[in-house]
Amino acid sequence: MTGSATWAANADLARRVEAAGFSGMLYTETSQVPWMQISAAATAAPSLTFTTGIAVAFPRSPMVTAATAWEIAQNTGGRFRLGLGSQVKGHVVRRYSAEFAPPGPRMRDYVLAVRACLRAFRREEELSYEGEYYRLSYLPEAWAPPRHDFEQIPIDISAVGPYMTRLAGEIADGVHVHPLHSTYYLRERLLPAVAEGAELGGRSSADVDLIVPVFAAPGDTPEERDALVRRARQQIAFYGSTPNYAFQFDDLGFEGTTARLGALMRAGDLDAMEATISDEMLEHFAVVCTWDELAERLIDRYRDTAARLVMYLAEESMRRDPRSIDRWGEVARAVRAA
């Protein structure tokens, strides 16, 4: 998992993780857009698969998103998945000056509009999409992108709550699971909702890939693990302060955690937020173990659910200790073999 670096740095990282044994790279969209970074990385590492995890949907026309995905798919030889997400209202409205509400129905319309564009690019039909929020009806041949050999582009969406997870099951090729998740959440909330959506869409939930970011904090001693464990606690606390995610704690018996984290966030007490995430909570939301245990722990935890595992903290670990890339590579190869 990566997201904010120069093109040269992305190319270098891609070469190193490809050589180490990773299968791909996932690009977030925070302070930089993902497209040019993926282009640089894909040129440097021709065997990796790339995905946006996620690209913010609503500020972009579905046509712009579809055309960008089309070009990346062509130039990566089909090694690309388009991951879309709604982001939160404050970013969409105040940072991007775009429409947000209602995010669930709008995301449905957006994905269907992107798919309509892709069908038009494949020359399967003329562009004629009339949705509730998006309308596209004009694509002269001169402006249609050239056809290529990698035109079936998977579209994944980020989902946490029941509406989006059902939507993913119904219309998406995959779901980007939130980093703040427990195995209880996957088993009792997300998978049943995906299955319900898949039934609505007339297909099997097995058709929907789960792309799962993991707070993995490996190290052979507590001291070696300490920095990544602290970062995991910080990220869990940050995500957990969002009211929409309160159920993640409540389901596990940690009622009131989100309210406490929210109050500490408003007070600016980041140390206390980190301290709120107990060892027991950490066990539910992160994988903390020795290097030799990590692959087995990941396989045991996610074998029956995840299509792809994303190492949330790996790049940070590699920056702190460049030698750790070999250890991460051992884990990646073992998980891929399983």
Q: What is the pLDDT of residues 170-204, one digit of tens each?
A: 999 999 999 999 999 999 999 999 999 999 999 99
Q: Quote the pLDDT of residue 306.
A: 97
Mean pLDDT value across residues 6-31: 97
Domain 7-219+293-337 has CATH 3.20.20.30: yes
| Residue % of the chain over a pLDDT of 70 | 100
User: What single string gives the DSSP state of each residue in 275-309?
Assistant: HHS-HHHHHHHEEEE-HHHHHHHHHHHHTTT-SEE
Mean pLDDT value across residues 22-49: 97
Residue of 231, 227, 249, 229 lying closest to 240 (CA atoms):
249
User: What single string gives the DSSP state of each residue in 164-187?
Assistant: HHHHHHHH-SEEEE-SS--HHHII
Q: Quote the pLDDT of residue 137.
A: 98
Task: Report domain extents, the chain.
Answer: 7-219+293-337
Whole-number Cα distances in Å, 280 to 182, 187, 239, 285: 12, 19, 17, 9
The predicted-structure confidence for 36-60, as pLDDT tens digits, reads as follows 999 999 999 999 999 999 999 999 9
The predicted-structure confidence for 99-156, as pLDDT tens digits, reads as follows 999 999 999 999 999 999 999 999 999 999 999 999 999 999 999 999 999 999 999 9
The predicted-structure confidence for 278-316, as pLDDT tens digits, reads as follows 999 999 999 999 999 999 999 999 999 999 999 999 999
Question: What is the 8-class DSSP label of residue 83?
Answer: E
Share the mean pLDDT of the chain: 97
In angstroms, the CA 257 to CA 240 distance is 8
DSSP β-ladder status, 286-289 and 209-218: parallel
Question: Three-class SS of residue 48?
Answer: coil
Mean pLDDT value across residues 228-247: 96
